[in-house]
Structure 1
Amino acid sequence: MHQSEVSPPATALMQGGLADSLFDTARRTPGLLQIARRADSASGAQWIPFTAAELRDEVVDLARGLVTSGIRPGDRVAIMARTRYEWTVLSFALWSVGAEIVPIYPTSSHEQVAWILKDAHCVAVVVEDEQGVMTVGSACASLPFLRHVWQLDTGALAQLAERGQAIPATTVDSLRRIVLPDSTAVIAYTSGTTGHAKGCALTHRSLASPCDTLLAGWGHTAAPPGEQPAILAFLPFSHVYGLMIQGLCLRGGIMMGHEPDLGEEALSAALLSFRPTYLYAVPFVFEKIFKNFLRTAQQAGRGALFERAVRTAQDFALAEERHRLGTGPGPGFDLRLQHSLYEKTVYRKMRAALGGRVCGAVSGGSPLNRELALFYAGIGIFVHDGYGLTETSGGITAQPVGREKFGTVGRPMPGVEVQVADDGEILVWGPSVFQGYINDPHTTQASFRNGWLATGDIGRIDAEGYLTITGRKKDVIITSGGKSVAPAALEERLRVHPLIHQAVVVGDNRPCVGALITLDPEFVAHWRGSRAGGEPSARDAREENELREEVRRAVAAANTTVSRSESIRVFRVLPEPFDLANGLLTPSMKLRRDAIVSRFAAEIDAMYQTSSRVPREYDSTEPSIWEDSDNVFR
């Protein structure tokens, strides 16, 4: 068993609840700009800042309305909404009166919503719109504890605040002061890739711990010296990662804006208008931004220039990484000169597309591809990859400042201990670990090994204490020949290719490893548009052949990172993506592997049947199967 080195806690002990941070900030620096709202939600072109005192007053008014409505300490209130300003006001108002928040993804199905509301014994639920009201209403018959359904888009929060005018503000202060650090703050439900989602009980202390540690050790990297950091929150607050971002902003005096729409156009516009100094995102977002850069360059006829600039950025970042880790001299004169040229002509424009002020970023949710991390570092945006899960209230590892090692998720944060068991499973101990799963003591007990949380993830710790995630324990594929294969690394490498949107590696009880692939429709459209004209029938056939070869090369490139027995020998391009609508993604955008394998069982069978006709001896880097009948343009 390999254990990381243990660092002492970096922050003072917490005395109260999460709401205290807002009230303390408003008392010390009432004029601090804490949050920004759009002047016109439709255009998103102008943001109006609000001070910490103004935000506190709005929280107090809403908290008084909650008291009038009968919300008491320990009551559980669900929030089923996208990432928007009201989420922040509502969460701090609920914490101010000692209530517990139950986040629900607004895209959740009727069955998922019914299960969570019933399992958590929620007394109220806040929804965005009429669709949310209908979803909750269809389950009300089985929810005897539910007393209120509040709809944001009909002004429910303003109505609550109006009703609470008769309650003195001192009542809210009295309720807030009895909230203890170890009181439950959030019941966060796991994604539920198999079976019912489980509710993780997270305390005020556990949610605050990673935020305070990051602010103490990494907070100075969130903005240039002398500037107030600004973060655009667009990841779901229904996920613990999103809640951690909110906590960082409110506990660290960081200006925060909200963007509920994760669509490419809306997010790009919000980044340009809000101009954040720091990004918190998941690998998919960083992959998408890179592909957009590439597509824009190709459309302008500068694809070759972009590719040279990318290689220079990666080479420059790699040389700097070796220098800071003590294994190299750093970038040479020629590389510095070339990098300086591209800084003036390419990299500056890339940063401008993100608002022009981004000086760093964090990636979480799953590991970030090493080559992609080198690219961003090379253009002036250091992406610190980290690791955490719902049961640990967010981050437990991070890249140490000045000792970043790309391709890893960093080292344990101060106060956290990490072990890798003999079977490769990552074990965690620390102040952010959850209380347990509500209503499920058996599963809670089974989740710990001698006091250490068994994460279900597999990985390794190197000699310097850096953790590398290699996949999920339950996702490991065992071929009919007995070879164990962790699919995450192959899938990550495939997704970096501009044409590939998603990839699922399969092969349990099969003779070799295979892959199901979906294509990025926007990039495919761009790719088709860049092809020369001709007769439609001849053009379609030519494009089909070229696309086959592009995908084959992408799979072959992914195979170079693994052994022959782990390489993808067969693959199939699917006509539909894995998404929430078809039930193949969880609300936190994770693959529902069992559902995918079940949905495409016939395609998988056909893929392997065809592969049986391929001779046994062939180059493992060259995947074999794309049937002639497959037409990804249909």
Structure 2
Amino acid sequence: MRDLGNIRAAAPGSTERPAMTGGLADSVFDTASRDPLLAQIARRTDSGDGTWTTVTAIELRDEVVDLAKGLVASGIRPGDRVAIMARTRYEWTVLSCALWAVGAEVVPVYPTSSHEQVEWILRDSGSVAVVVEDEQGVMTVGSVCASLPRLRHVWQLDTGALRALVERGRPVPATTVDSLRRIVLPDSTAVIVYTSGTSGHPRGCALSHRNLASTCDTLLAGWGHTWAPPGEQPATVVFLPFSHVYGLMLQVLCLRGGLLMGHEPDLRADVLAASLLTFRPTYLCAVPFVFEKLYKNVLRAAQQAGRGARFERAVRTAQDYALAMERQRLGTGPGPGFDLKLQHALYDKAVYRKIRAALGGRVCGAVSGGSPLSRELALFYEGIGIYVHDGYGLTETGGGITAQPLGREKSGTVGHPMPGVEVRVAPDGEILVRGPSVFQGYVNDDPGTHAALQDGWLVTGDLGHLDPEGYLSITGRKKDIIVTSGGKSVAPAALEERLRMHPLVHQSVVVGDNRPCVGALITLDPEFVAHWRGALFTPGDAPGREAREANALRQEVARAVAAANTTVSRSESIRVFRVLPEPFDVANGLLTPSMKLRRDAIARRYAVEIDAMYQSASRVPREQRSEELPQWDDSDDVFRRTR
């Protein structure tokens, strides 16, 4: 077992890429030729003690070649599409590189997809083979095979399918793979990534090898030196799904830039925490939910230890310190004063370094993507010594298109357009993008492609604004805008983001289309509710405890709503809300596999609750309505719903 903390850095200059002449698989072969002993991937051992072993660049290349030979022997040809329906694991990386090496196109599929979604993607893409993870995946694909005449192979990872492919390919000479790899062009299609499908069928975005490589190469050239302390090899644990463009971009980034990549397929909080602790990444790539959850877990632990008040003071100090530092680097302030520096130093020893240690102790920075990260949370992480770069990108752009300028970072924005990318904002607030990473088009959907690509610009469907210094801020999705019966347009994202900052709130959906005011559907974090209940009352309290708990929780949720309302005007504020009995998740069809809200499905599922929420508010006499707190139907039994 090699100590991951002492693995040498990649060779100097290894992130500088010449003009791209081939496909993404070339990265594996080029690195193996240039630096064969470079640790490319870390794999967790079977010992159960959290140790990792490394796969060198030349070992990875040899595995890719052996598997590519098996694919050729099985009839996979250039231009064929092969679906991968698996979690984020080592085999995903080897398989995708092998497919690219023979000129095939990868079709990522979320392993949690329904039968209907799997059928649609495999049929729409015309996939000739699919790789599944386990028996459940075989059953899912098997149930829809009758409608997939082009599907020839179903390979199961957990039964040794890749080993069998390697054996099958032994008679195929390695020169065959080399010949196929050399005819892959940068503008050949590399992947067909299907959008989340928040409404209607998902659409397949065709991304070329150049589309995916251009963003990664720009990041490596401009920001790569910040991803690890000097002299150390950058290392990251990839746990985001490769079925999403963000996770896919991270894989390409690691392969092209010589980052040490570890895979974590299990997203349970305790498993992920253990992986971070043992792998000890230098850089963390996640979505806002992960950063929110980490913050809430630390807060809960502090409260359980009787140090909640101190932690909250430490949070405020971190945010104040980060804000002062931001003003200094933007030229609008002198930086932290002596007292703030002293207070920050004290909390760094007592609080902040413990949080950093829980992430492995080597994290020097992070990036958040998928949805906007709240400014308050970004300032907190910067204040504890981990600046979280909040970037912006879409499936249609092959990942990120903006980044924070080094030394001029501004929390609450997604930074500047990256070199080579142009961003403008239309008069109606819609963001338009032009650059080398913009996709080739939607598969089997020419009208949709023409609608998305107008005069060379990608119409993103996102709303935002550019400030005078060129920083882009995202305000929401155009299709998500709520218009009340009074004609007020409300972007729900900011309110929902602010609500989630409260420890008790797990999820929130703002509603109000054709309603007299804005409302919210809220789900609670069951772990924090249990902790909150235990801290509020002790066992054996006097009769009537349950009613007092319910009243206290109503007040606490009302305070969370009131805090969210401070970020918007009075006419945009939440006036009514309802706590729901279950969270939104993929299993109940209320989240997409990439964890985005299915707003239409939520509105249909909870139509009765939404109607009741507004009717309850309308029955309250006007003179009795609070202008500061939203209404709550007295019939809500919160604890019955969250036990």
2:620 aligns to what SS in structure 1? coil
8 Å Cα contact 1:44-1:269 kept in structure 2: no
Counterpart contact for 2:616–2:633, Cα < 8 Å: no
Q: Which residue of 2 aligns with 1:3?
A: none
Partner of 2:598: 592
- Displacement of 1:14 in angstroms is 1.3
Residue in 1 that maps onto 2:567:
561
1:400 alignment partner in structure 2: 405
**Do the aligned residues in 1 keep the contact of 2:480 with 2:491 (CA within 8 Å)?**
yes
Deviation at 1:44, TM superposition (A): 5.9
Distance of 1:18 and 1:615 partners within structure 2: 65
Q: In the alignment, which residue of structure 1 is the partner of 2:637?
A: 630
Does the 8 Å contact 2:550/2:637 carry over to 1?
A: no
**How many angstroms does 1:530 deviate by?**
1.4
C-alpha displacement of 1:529: 1.7
- 1:572 corresponds in structure 2 to 578
Distance 2:474 2:156 in 1: 41
Give the aligned partner of residue 348 of structure 2: 343
1:628 counterpart letter in structure 2: S
Query: Which amino acid is 1:29 matched to?
Result: D
Distance apart, 1:22 and its partner CA: 1.0
How far is the alpha carbon of 1:619 from its aligned partner? 5.2
Which SS does the other structure have where 2:169 is aligned?
helix
Structure 2 residue 63 is the aligned partner of structure 1 residue 58: yes
Partner of 2:436: 431
- Cα offset for 1:590? 0.1
Q: Which residue of 1 aligns with 2:12?
A: none
Report whether the alignment pairs 1:123 with 2:145. Answer: no
Shift of 1:535: 4.0
- The whole-number CA distance in structure 2 between the counterparts of 1:49 and 1:537 is 60
Instruction: Say whether 1:27 aligns with 2:27.
Output: no
What residue number does 1:172 align with?
177
Contact 1:559/1:621 (<8 A) preserved: no
What one-letter code is carried by the residue in structure 2 that aligns with 1:376? Y
Q: CA deviation at 1:536?
A: 7.3
- Which amino acid in structure 2 is aligned with residue 538 of structure 1? G
1:305 aligns to what SS in structure 2? helix
Give the C-alpha shift of residue 629 in structure 1.
3.3
Instruction: Give the AA of the match of 1:240.
Output: V
The alignment partner of 1:468 has SS state of: strand
8 Å contact from structure 1 (residues 560, 621) kept in 2: no
Structure 2: distance between partners of 1:479 and 1:469: 22
Q: Distance in 2 between matches of 1:453 and 1:174?
A: 35
1:370 aligns with 2:403: no
SS of 1:272 mapped into structure 2: helix
SS at match of 2:536: coil
Deviations for 1:406-460, whole angstroms, at most 9, x for unmatched residues? 0001110000000110111000000000000011101100112222110000010
Task: Give the TM-score of the pair, scaled to structure 2.
Answer: 0.96
Q: Judging changes above 3 Å, is the alpha-carbon distance between structure 1 residues 444 and 632 closer, same or farther for their aligned structure 2 residues?
A: farther
Q: Which residue of 2 aligns with 1:5?
A: none
Q: Does the 8 A contact of 1:501 with 1:517 survive in 2?
A: yes
The 5-angstrom pairing of residues 259-278 of structure 1 reads 259-278=264-283
User: Could you report, residue by residue, the CA deviation over 1:493-535 in whole angstroms, capped at 9, with x for unpaired residues?
Assistant: 0001100000000000000000000000111111112122234
Q: Could you give the per-residue CA deviations for residues 352-395 of structure 1, whole angstroms, max 9, x where no partner exists? A: 11111111000000000000000000000000000001000000
What's the offset of the Cα at 1:633? 3.2
1:296 to 278, 297, 301: 301
Distance 1:220 1:496 in 2: 32
Q: Which residue of 2 aligns with 1:613?
A: 619
Q: CA deviation at 1:469?
A: 0.4
Q: Match of 2:265, SS?
A: coil
Secondary structure at the counterpart of residue 508 of structure 2 = strand
How much does 1:12 deviate?
4.7
The letter for the 2-side match of 1:586 is T
SS in 1 for 2:448: helix
Name the TM-score, length of structure 1 as normaliser.
0.97
Name the residue aligned to 2:463: 458
Structure 1 counterpart of 2:52: 47
Q: Deviations over 1:96-148 (max 9, x none)?
A: 00000000000000000000000000000000000000000001000000000
Tell me which residue corresponds to 1:4: none
* Equivalent residues of 1:38, 1:44 under 8 A apart: no
Decide whether the 8 Å contact of 1:232 with 1:274 is kept in 2.
Answer: yes
For structure 2, the 5+ residue unaligned runs are: 1-15
Match of 1:328?
333
Partners of 2:546 and 2:107 in 1: CA distance: 51
Query: Residue deviations 1:41-76, cap 9 Å, x none?
Result: 7x3601001111001111111000000000000000
Q: Does 1:473 align with 2:483?
A: no
* Contact 1:494 1:503 (8 Å CA) reproduced: yes
SS of equivalent residue, structure 1 residue 633: helix
Does the aligned pair in 2 maintain the 1:44–1:273 contact within 8 Å? no
2:544 is paired with a residue of what secondary structure?
Answer: helix
Cross-structure match for 2:10: none
Give the whole-Å Cα distance in 2 for the aligned partners of 1:81 and 1:524.
Answer: 33
One-letter amino acid matched to 1:92: C
Partner residue, 2:290: 285
Q: Distance between the aligned counterparts of 1:480 and 1:12, measured in 2? A: 57
How far did 1:162 drift?
A: 1.2
Greater Cα shift, 621-630 or 26-35: 621-630
- In the TM superposition, residue 623 of structure 1 has moved relative to its aligned partner by 1.3
Count of residues in Structure 1 that have an aligned counterpart in Structure 2: 624
* Cα separation, 2, equivalents of 1:317 and 1:487: 27
Match of 1:17 in 2: 23
What is aligned with 2:241? Answer: 236
Q: What is the distance in 1 between the residues matched to 2:183 and 2:492?
A: 48
Alignment of 1:156-167 (within 5 A): 156-167=161-172
Asked if the contact 1:400–1:411 (Cα under 8 Å) also holds between the matched residues in 2, the reply is: yes
CA contact (8 A) 1:458 1:469 kept: yes
Give, in angstroms, the shift of residue 614 of structure 1: 3.1
Instruction: Quickly say closer, same or farther: Cα 1:432–1:616, change in 2 above 3 A.
Output: farther
Deviations 1:11-50 (A, max 9, x none): 7531110000111000000000010101117x36010011
Distance 2:18 2:410 in 1: 28
Query: Equivalents in 1 of 2:44, 2:190: separation in Å?
Result: 29
Query: 2:626 & 2:579 partners in 1: Cα distance?
Result: 21
Cα RMSD over matched residues?
1.2
Instruction: Write the distance in 2 (CA, Å) between the matches of 1:410 and 1:619.
Output: 39
Residue 538 of structure 1: CA displacement? 2.1
1:150 aligns with 2:135: no
Q: Structure 2: how far apart are the matches of 1:537 and 1:584?
A: 38
Q: CA offset at residue 621 of structure 1?
A: 3.6
Q: 1:97 to 1:334 in 2, by over 3 A?
A: same
User: After superposition, where does 1:93-242 map in structure 2 within 5 Å?
Assistant: 93-242=98-247
Q: Helix, strand or coil: the match of 1:257?
A: strand
Amino acid at match of 2:37: G
Q: Summarize the alignment of residues 312-327 of structure 1 with structure 2, pairs less than 5 Å apart.
A: 312-327=317-332
What does the per-residue CA deviation read over 1:149-172, in whole Å, with 9 as the maximum and x for residues that have no partner? 000000100110111111111111
Q: Larger relative contact order (C-alpha < 8 A, sep ≥ 6)? A: 1
Aligned-partner SS, 2:400: strand
Q: Is the 8 A contact 1:459 1:470 kept in 2?
A: yes
- What is the match of residue 308 of structure 1? 313
Asked if the contact 1:573–1:632 (Cα under 8 Å) also holds between the matched residues in 2, the reply is no
- Secondary structure, counterpart of 1:445 in structure 2: helix
2:453 to 448, 453, 460: 448
Residue 556 of structure 2 aligns to a residue whose secondary structure is helix
SS at match of 2:106: strand
Q: Distance in 1 between matches of 2:33 and 2:298?
A: 44
Is the contact made by 2:485 and 2:514 (CA closer than 8 Å) also made in structure 1? Answer: yes
Cα shift readout 1:83-108 (whole Å, capped 9, x = no counterpart): 00000000000000000000000000
Paired amino acid for 2:335: G
